[in-house]
Amino acid sequence: MGTTEAYTFYGTQLEELTEDELWAKKPVPVEEQVATDKQGRRRFHGAFTGGFSAGYFNTVGSEEGWTPATFRSTRAEKEAKRQQRPEDFMDDEDQEVFGIAPKVLRARQEYKKATIGGHGATSLEGLLRPVRDTVGVLLLRRMGWRPGQGVGPRQTAAEKRRRRQVAGRAEEEEEPEDDLEGVTFAPDDLTALTVAPKTNTYGMGYVGLATPFSLFEPPKPVMNAAVGGVRGQAFGVGAFEREDDDIYAADDMSRYDFFLESSNESRKRRNDEKRAEFEKKRRHGESKCLENFAEAKEKMATATFYPPPQVPKHFVPKHGVRQTRFSEQKPQVAQKLAERRGRHDLSAEQRGVLVGEVERKTESLVRKPVPVLDFEVVPAELQLGQFNPFSNNPEKLKRYQQYLTLKKMKQTDKLVCLQPPELTEWEKSRELNEFEQAAELFRPLAAQISDRFVSASTLVGSDETPTQTEQSPVEESVKAAKLKMFGKMTRDIAPWQPCALLCKRFNVPEPNSGAGRHFEFD
């Protein structure tokens, strides 16, 4: 571990964060972490995002705008030939890394390092030479080969020139020397295949703007299936914009009208033309269509034909008339039906006889003497309104009404007289209970209204009495507490269900037999 002086520091140091800051900052969600450029506009990896704002929103160079060069020529100073370069119209933003003309330091051609296959490679090879020639080389030399020549049958000058042309080597026009016929030359050596490295960042299949461009033909669709439907353009429309019309690309005259007519008229005209064509066809017998009809472009789907089922050889069809139950029954049928139902018409005694029961002497159940009402119960006018507890049982409803009258007379036990004897004891007592509860729940309207309203004579000038009834349940306990009457008045016990997990954590069995399982905490 050396001293820190030995280190050089590169970059700007992060500023110290205090602990309060640390906790106060909320993490920025990923969607909000956008890259912005110097002016705070949203950046998109350097892609063109629409518009030629050139730094100062359509001005160049400064806020005031681009000032063109002024023309000034005097007799003394003649105006020099002005050569304007595109760089004059660019500003710093264009010359940044992501601009149109980035200013990058580059090495000149001569100082570029050697590429594979260039001059450098062979010179490197030239450094490493074998000490001895190989046997093959020795043999070739003996046979007349010299280094630099190719291997093969000897060629005349004309043949050689032709070969060179085929190979595509650029050659200067040489005047064919007056060669003596028969002078052969060794063939050219094959050059090593040089693989040119990719020095650009074009994609596969990239073709520049080399396609010829015509106004009068629709643009040929340069479609690459491999591209997979990547549309749009990298020029003119920004990365953040949705697809716009192809304003800079090839235009086509078919998009423009040549006549002054509306779309309706043009459609009509086209239809007329089509019709005329068909007429012509028909007249010539080419088309089998009817008048005012057009041949379909698509073939109709033929319906599938299902053959009828195969009937077995010895099949005899039997067709009977279907009987409805509304038609008259045939006498035999009716008799038979009556016979079959016979067993349901027996009484208990008859059935007992059939089975062979021994008759038992049973004493009939002693019926308790039903108390007899000594007065007539007139059912009172019942303002049931919405409250009708026994809507599905009109008998019961009537008995309820009579019960209410009895209640007024304080002779509710006389309900027994009114109840029919078919009800069992339990049912009778149950009905009595039901009537009691119903009477309690429902109080006739008059009584309810009287609760809410107070006649003017009772009010002494304070407005406490009406509010009392509304707030009674809440205020009571507080009032009792204030009067130090703690106990029943101040205490309220209500059921409460802890959730299942809470009971588990407290190691307590769940109360109310597992009602916490369906708990939804609010």
Partner 1 sequence: MAAEIVEALSSCIRTIDCKQGAVRAVRFNADGSYCLTCGSDRKIKLWNPNKNLLLKTYPGHGKEAMDVAGSCDSAKLVSCGADKMVIIWDVATGQSLRRYRGHATVVSCVRFNEDSSVVISGSHDNSVRIWDTRSNIYDPIQILNDAKDSITSIQVTENKILTGSVDGKIREYDLRAGQLTTDTLGEATTSVTYTRDGQCVLASCADASVRLIDTTAGELLNEFRGHTTKDYCVETATGPGDSTILCGSSDGCVWIWELVTGNVLGKLTHSSLPTVVPSLSINPSANQVLTASEGCIKLWGEMSPEDILICDD
* Nearer of residues 411 and 497 to partner 1, judged by Cβ: 497
In this structure, are residues 490 and 480 in contact, taking their beta carbons and an 8 Å threshold?
A: yes
> Among residues 371 and 514, whose Cβ is nearest to partner 1?
514
Told to check if 492 binds partner 1 by CB under 8 A, we report yes
Distance CA 505, CA 521 (A): 16
Min separation Cβ 506 and partner 1, Å: 5
Binding map of partner 1 across residues 349-388, x = CB under 8 A, - = no contact = ----------------------------------------
Are the C-beta atoms of residues 371 and 414 closer than 8 Å to each other? yes
The nearest distance, CB 348 to partner 1, in angstroms, is 54
> The tokens of 435 are what?
């009537």
Query: Does residue 439 interact with partner 1 by CB under 8 A?
Result: no
Nearer to partner 1, 359 or 492 (CB): 492
Contacting residue, 114, 151, 409, 478, with partner 1 by CB under 8 A: 478
Find the shortest distance in angstroms from Cβ 31 to partner 1: 21
User: How far is residue 75's CA from residue 70's CA, in Å, rounded to a whole number?
Assistant: 16
Residue whose CB is less far from partner 1, 98 or 519: 519
Q: Does 19 bind partner 1 (CB under 8 A)?
A: yes
**Closer of 432 and 515 to partner 1 (Cβ):** 515
Find where tokens 């407005």 sit: 463
53 binds partner 1 (CB under 8 A): no
Which class for 153: exposed (0-12), middle (13-18), buried (19 or more C-beta within 10 A)? exposed
Contacts of 211 (CB under 8 A, 6+ apart): 220, 222
Identify the residue among 297, 340, 484, 518 touching partner 1 (CB under 8 A): 484
Whole-Å CA distances, 238 to 84, 99, 229, 385: 28, 14, 18, 73
Tell me which stretch binds partner 1 (CB under 8 A): 175-183, 221-229, 403-411, 480-488.
480-488
Distance (Å, whole) CA 278 – CA 280 = 5
Is 498 a binding residue for partner 1 by CB under 8 A? The answer is yes
Q: Which of 20, 79, 291, 464 binds partner 1 (CB under 8 A)?
A: 20
In order, the DSSP letters of 163-177 are: HHHHHT------PPP
Contact status: 16 vs partner 1 (CB under 8 A):
no
If one asks whether residue 49 binds partner 1 (CB under 8 A), the answer comes out as no
Nearer to partner 1, 466 or 511 (CB): 511
- Give residues with Cβ within 8 angstroms of 196, minimum separation 6: 115, 117
Q: Does 487 bind partner 1 (CB under 8 A)?
A: yes
User: What distance in Å separates the CA atoms of residue 106 and residue 90, rounded to the nearest whole number?
Assistant: 20
DSSP element (H, E) containing 185: strand 184-185
User: Binding of partner 1 at residue 501 (CB under 8 A)?
Assistant: yes
Q: Positive or negative, the Cα torsion across 275, 280, 285, 291?
A: positive
Assess 345 for contact with partner 1 (CB under 8 A).
Answer: no
Classify the C-alpha dihedral 199-205-210-215 as positive or negative: negative
Q: Which is nearer to partner 1, 426 or 521 (CB)?
A: 521
Residues 6+ apart with CB under 8 A from 203: none
Place of tokens 């007024």: 408
Residue 508 interacting with partner 1 (CB under 8 A): yes
Q: Measure CA 304 to chain center.
A: 40
Least Å distance between CB 486 and partner 1?
A: 4
Chosen residue from 309, 394, 421, 509 binding partner 1 by CB under 8 A: 509
Using the rule CB under 8 A, is 245 a contact of partner 1? no
Is residue 507 a contact point for partner 1 (CB under 8 A)? yes
- The yes or no reply on residue 486 touching partner 1 (CB under 8 A) is yes
Residue 293 lies near partner 1 (rule: CB under 8 A): no
Relative to beta strand 155-156, strand 184-185 is: antiparallel
Residue placing its CB nearer to partner 1 in the complex, 56 or 519:
519
CB-based contacts of 421: which residues, under 8 Å, 6+ apart? 367, 370
480 binds partner 1 (CB under 8 A): yes
| Shortest Cβ 465–partner 1 spacing (Å) | 22
Q: Half-sphere exposure of 94 toward its Cβ, with a 13 Å CA cutoff? A: 18
Q: Select from 48-56, 113-121, 406-414, 505-513 the region that touches partner 1 (CB under 8 A).
A: 505-513
The least distance separating partner 1 from the CB of residue 496, rounded to whole angstroms, comes to 4
Answer for which of 1, 6, 14, 24 binds partner 1 (CB under 8 A) is 24
Q: Which residues of 52-79 are buried (b: 16+ CB within 10 A; e: fewer)?
A: eebbbeeebbeeeeeeeeeeeeeeeeee
Instruction: Select the span of 94-102, 308-316, 444-452, 473-481 touching partner 1 (CB under 8 A).
Output: 473-481
Determine the interface stretch with partner 1 among 34-42, 96-104, 281-289, 507-515 (rule: CB under 8 A): 507-515
Let me know: does 144 contact 185? Beta carbons within 8 Å: no
- In the set 293, 496, 517, 518, which binds partner 1 (CB under 8 A)? 496
Q: Quick one: 319 exposed, middle or buried, by C-beta within 10 A (0-12, 13-18, 19+)?
A: exposed
Furthest-apart CA pair in the chain: how many Å? 163
Calpha distance 453→445 (Å, rounded):
13
499 binds partner 1 (CB under 8 A): yes
Residues that bind partner 1 (CB under 8 A): 19-20, 23-24, 477-478, 480-482, 484, 486-488, 490-499, 501-503, 505-512, 515, 519, 521-522
